[in-house]
């Protein structure tokens, strides 16, 4: 799929895999992150330093025309409700929701120009914990619930020029979730919770983003796609 793409959080985890999967066909990929992470340097990839928790962010480095964007920064702040302080909710909301808002506002003019024969495309990330009600997930589930609301609202507001969809992963082996994969025993215990017998890998979630960015999904908008090894729908 040719075109210009912008990946917020494209330096690690799922976002890095999105970048790697886009490289063969994209014309240009701009990445916003706080560090270089696992990016190895490629002529099509342009990284810009950015912390989405800061204000007055500079998006002037992106091309005038952008065909698709993905926002990947997220949190896994798992604690009992009793242990969570109000600032934990604010902090999770800042990274997951407000950061996405800043990103989309920064890219909107270029995205509108990217809508031609095909609509431009936005991909956001939620979590299985929004639809499933998992204990210890109050803060992140509340923040990601807002992301799902944003997805549907913007999909309505921006149709037919820009499509907006969201992916809801379950546990995936990335730097964000590394503490759940700290030993072979932990890894095995986590895998057993899933009907498909394993936890996610970045490619599972990146290939869904690539699909949502492509014309293969051109009649889809306002959707939240569960990519979770069956966790949200099956009991085995």
Tell me if 221 contacts ligand NAP by CB under 6 A.
Answer: no
Please report, as residue ranges, which positions from 145 to 164 form the binding site for ligand NAP (by CB under 6 A): none
Please report, as residue ranges, which positions from 4 to 23 form the binding site for ligand NAP (by CB under 6 A): 9-15
How many residues sit in the footprint of ligand NAP (CB under 6 A)? Answer: 28
Q: Could you give the CA distance from residue 108 to residue 101 in angstroms, rounded to a whole number?
A: 10
Tell me if 72 contacts ligand NAP by CB under 6 A.
Answer: yes
Please report, as residue ranges, which positions from 39 to 58 form the binding site for ligand NAP (by CB under 6 A): 50-53
- Concatenating the DSSP letter of every residue in 33-101 gives ESS-TT----TTEEEEE--TTSSS---TTS-S--SEEEE---------TTT--HHHHHHHHIIIIIHHH
Tell me if 172 contacts ligand NAP by CB under 6 A.
Answer: yes
H or E segment to which residue 224 belongs:
strand 224-227
Tell me if 232 contacts ligand NAP by CB under 6 A.
Answer: no
The order of strands in the sheet holding 162-169 is: 45-49, 28-33, 4-8, 68-71, 120-125, 162-169, 224-227
Nearer to ligand NAP, 52 or 194 (CB): 52
Give bridge partners of residue 163 from the DSSP assignment.
Answer: 121
Nearer to ligand NAP, 178 or 215 (CB): 178
Contact (Cβ atoms closer than 8 angstroms) between residue 4 and residue 65: yes
Tell me if 131 contacts ligand NAP by CB under 6 A.
Answer: no
| CB-side neighbour CA atoms (13 Å) of 198 | 5
Three-state DSSP class for residue 161: coil
Q: Which of 171, 209, 213, 225 binds ligand NAP (CB under 6 A)?
A: 171
CB of 69 to ligand NAP, least distance (A): 14
Nearer to ligand NAP, 91 or 109 (CB): 91
Three-state DSSP class for residue 221: coil
Nearer to ligand NAP, 66 or 115 (CB): 66
**Residues lying near ligand NAP in the complex (CB under 6 A):** 9-15, 33-35, 37, 50-53, 72-74, 95, 125, 127, 169, 171-172, 174-177
């Amino acid at each position: 799929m040719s075109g210009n793409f912008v990946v917020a959080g494209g330096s690690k985890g799922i976002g890095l895999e999105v970048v790697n999967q886009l490289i063969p066909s994209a014309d240009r990929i701009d990445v916003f992150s706080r560090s270089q992470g696992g990016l190895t340097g490629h002529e099509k990839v342009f990284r810009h330093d950015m912390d989405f928790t800061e204000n007055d962010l500079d998006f002037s480095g992106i091309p005038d025309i952008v065909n698709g964007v993905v926002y990947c920064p997220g949190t896994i702040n798992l604690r009992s409700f009793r242990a969570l302080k109000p600032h934990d909710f604010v902090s999770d909301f800042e990274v997951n929701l407000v950061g996405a808002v800043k990103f989309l506002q920064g890219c909107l003019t270029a995205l509108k120009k990217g809508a031609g024969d095909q609509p431009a495309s936005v991909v956001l990330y939620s979590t299985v914990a929004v639809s499933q009600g998992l204990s210890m997930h109050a803060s992140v589930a509340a923040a990601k619930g807002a992301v799902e609301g944003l997805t549907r609202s913007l999909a309505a507001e921006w149709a037919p020029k820009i499509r907006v969809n969201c992916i809801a992963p379950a546990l995936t082996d990335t730097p964000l979730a590394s503490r759940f994969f700290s030993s072979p025993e932990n890894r095995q215990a986590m895998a057993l919770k899933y009907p498909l017998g394993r936890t996610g890998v970045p490619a599972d979630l990146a290939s869904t983003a690539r699909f949502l960015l492509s014309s293969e999904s051109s009649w889809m908008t306002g959707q939240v796609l569960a990519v979770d090894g069956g966790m949200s729908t099956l009991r085995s």
